[in-house]
Chains A and B, each alone.
Chain A
C-alpha cells in the first residue's frame, strides 16, 4: 500500500525550495562494549588509545584543510574546535587514561563514558548554542571510536537530484558527503546555528532542520519537497504541489544563474562610465570566493588576522609569504593592503595597550604604528617585496593629519632603503594611499590629495565620526546611517578633492555594497567601490542598468536634501525606477 502525502514542520535553516528524491543518510553505527582488562593489558590499551588519537587528529587536520579550501575558513573552524577537544588534557585525555588504568576497562568504553558525560552536561545547559555543541562532543566521540577500530569513514555520494534526509548531520558527515548533487537537506535534529544550517546557507542549498521523526517515516527514493523559506517538508506530495514547487525551484535557480552571469562582466553604465567593483577580504579563502563572484581587485585587504593568529608579532618573512599568496592570485589586478589597524578596543593578545576612556578617539590605526615604527617598517618591507610580484598598493588607516602621512611615507622610504641594502627583490614605486575615515581628513582632503596616490573612503568609521555616534550603541543608532546628509556631503567633498588632484578614489565601507547607495557613488564618479564578495554580481547588474547622466542628477538632488528621510526617499525613488538590463 502506498502512503499518501505527509507534511512535516521544522525550523527553516537555509532559504529556497527544492524538489527531489529522498536519499537516506545513515551513519555507520559504532557499538560500544565494555571489556575488563588484565593488569598486563592496561599499558597496551593506553597506547592503543593514544594511537587512535593520533589517527583522528591527522584525519581532522586533513578535513580542516579541505573544507577551508572548498567552502571557507569559517565553516572549517568547527574542525579546529574538534581538534582542540582531542587535545583536551583535563577533560578528555587524562580522564580516559585514568579510567583505563584504574578501572581496567577497554579504551572504547572509557571514551564513551567520559565524552558522553560531557555531552550530557552540555545538553543540560540553558543556551540553545550549548545544547547544539553536545552534538560536537558526540561527533568527536564517534570519530575516536572509529579510529580505535583502525579505520575512518569514506565519502558517501548521493545520486542526482537528492534531498538528503538524516536523523542528524554532524560536521564529519557534512565533510564526507559529496554535496555536488544535493538539492536540499532535511534533518530530525539541529537548530538554525547547527553545522548543516551554516554549510547549506554558504552553498545556497535549501534546508529544514528540527523535523523530529522525519527520517524514520521517509523511505529511500520517496519524492520530497524541502521548503527552506517556511520550514516545511512534504513527503510524497500530490501532483499539484509538486508542480508548483518545481516552478518555484526553477525560478530560483534561474535568478541565481542570471545574477552569476553578471559576475564576469564590467560594471559599466549604459552611457559608458566604468566603475571598478572590488572585494573586501581578510583571508585567502575569501579571495577564491571573491574571484568567482567577479572581483576586479581587492579594495581592502585587512591584515589584522595575520597578527591575531600569531603568538607574537609576525616576522617580515611570515608577512611576505602571506601577502605573496594574495598578490600571486590576483595577477595584475590591484591588491590594496591596509596596514595594521589596532586600537584599545581591538588590541593584540601579545601587545599590551593601556586602557583608555575613549578608545574610538584614542591610540589606534596609524597613530599606534607611527609610535611603534618597527611594527610598520616590518609590514611595509613585506608589502614592498610582495609588490614585486604583482599590483600591490599600500594604504594607511585612521589618518587625521598631513604630518601623519608624511611620517608614514618616510617609513616607506626607510623600508625601501633597507631592502636595497639587504639585496632583496622589491618594488619601490608602489602606490601609497590613505583611508578617509575622520572628519579632519575630509576637511583636509585637498592637502592630503597632494601627498598620496589614492584615497579610499571608509564609511563605517567616517559615519561614526561625522555623526559623533558610536556605531555599537543602540541608543544612538538612529543617527548612525551612511545616508545622513552630512555623510553624503563629506563623501562628495572627498571625491571632488581627489578629482582635482587627479588621484584614484575608492570606497570600502558598508556604503559601497549598498544597492541604494551605488547610483549615488556612480554619479559622484568614484573610480572603484569595494564590498563583501556576495554583493558583487548584484552591484554589477545595477551599474549596468543605469546611466551616469541620471546618476549625476540624482547626486545633485540628494545633495539638496536636508534630512535622512529625504535622502532615503530620493534614493528609493530612483532605485524603484530602474529596470534591470540583461547580462
Chain B
C-alpha cells in the first residue's frame, strides 16, 4: 500500500494581529501554492488552510499556538513554508 506523505508542526503566533487581516491572506495564499491537503488546528477547531473564511473562523490571535498538518506529495515543503511564514511574523515591517 502506498502511504501519503504527511507532515505536521505546531507554531506560536508572534505577530500582533494573529491569523487575521493581511497575515490570514498571506497564509491562505501560501497554502494554495501547494498540492497537499492542508489543515490548521487551534484548540478543538479545524479549518482548511486554503479557505480564508475557515482560517479566520479559527479566531487565532497573538500568542496562540496553531498546528499545521499537510498530506500529499509536497506536505513537508508546505508545512515548512507555512511555519516559516508564521515565524517571520508575516514579514511585519521593520
Contacts and interface: CB of A to CB of B under 8 A. Distances in A.
B7 interface: no
Contacts of A133: 20, 56
Interface string A459-481: 01000000000000000000000
A84 B30 CA distance: 12
Interface string A172-209: 00000000000000000000000000000000000000
A311 interface: yes
Contacts of B21: 77, 81, 129
A102 B59 CA distance: 31
Nearest to A125: B59
A122 B52 CA distance: 13
A302 B50 CA distance: 29
Contact of B51 (A90, A129, A308): A90
B72 interface: no
B32 to A, nearest CB: 9
A374 interface: no
Contacts of B50: 89-90
A122 B56 contact: yes
A464 to B, nearest CB: 11
A220 interface: no
Contacts of B59: 125-127, 130
Contact of A81 (B25, B54, B57, B81): B25
Nearest to A140: B53
A311 B33 contact: yes
A88 B51 CA distance: 5
Number of chain B interface residues as a range: 20 to 34
B52 A81 contact: yes
A130 B56 contact: yes
Interface string A64-94: 0000000000000100110011011111100
B84 A90 contact: no
A84 B85 contact: no
Interface in B56-94: 56-57, 59, 61, 80-82, 84-85, 87-89, 91-94
Secondary structure at chain B's binding surface: helix, strand, loop or mixed? helix
**Max chain B Cβ within 10 angstroms of own Cβ: one of A85, A137, A350:** A350
B85 A91 contact: no
A348 interface: yes
Contact of A118 (B26, B48, B57, B89): B57
Given A302-B94, A311-B33, A347-B84, A84 B52 contact: yes
A345 B88 contact: yes
A331 B87 CA distance: 38
Nearest to B82: A349
Given A88-B53, A122-B56, A347-B88, A129 B30 contact: no
A118 B80 contact: no
B61 A90 contact: no
B53 A349 contact: no
B35 interface: no
A122 B93 CA distance: 28
Interface string B24-48: 1110111001000000000000001
**Max chain A Cβ within 10 angstroms of own Cβ: one of B21, B26, B88:** B88
Interface string A305-349: 100100100000000000000000000000000000000111111
A345 B20 CA distance: 20
A346 B20 CA distance: 18
A122 B61 CA distance: 14
A353 interface: yes
A84 B61 contact: no
A327 B2 CA distance: 54
The 3 closest A-B pairs by CB, nearest first: A91-B53, A90-B51, A90-B48
Given A92-B51, A129-B20, A349-B82, 20 more contacts: A84-B28, A85-B53, A88-B54, A89-B51, A90-B53, A91-B52, A92-B53, A127-B61, A130-B59, A282-B93, A302-B93, A302-B94, A305-B91, A311-B33, A345-B87, A346-B91, A346-B92, A347-B87, A348-B88, A350-B81
17 contacts: A80-B25, A81-B21, A84-B28, A90-B50, A121-B57, A129-B17, A129-B20, A130-B20, A133-B56, A282-B93, A311-B33, A344-B87, A345-B87, A346-B89, A349-B26, A352-B84, A355-B87
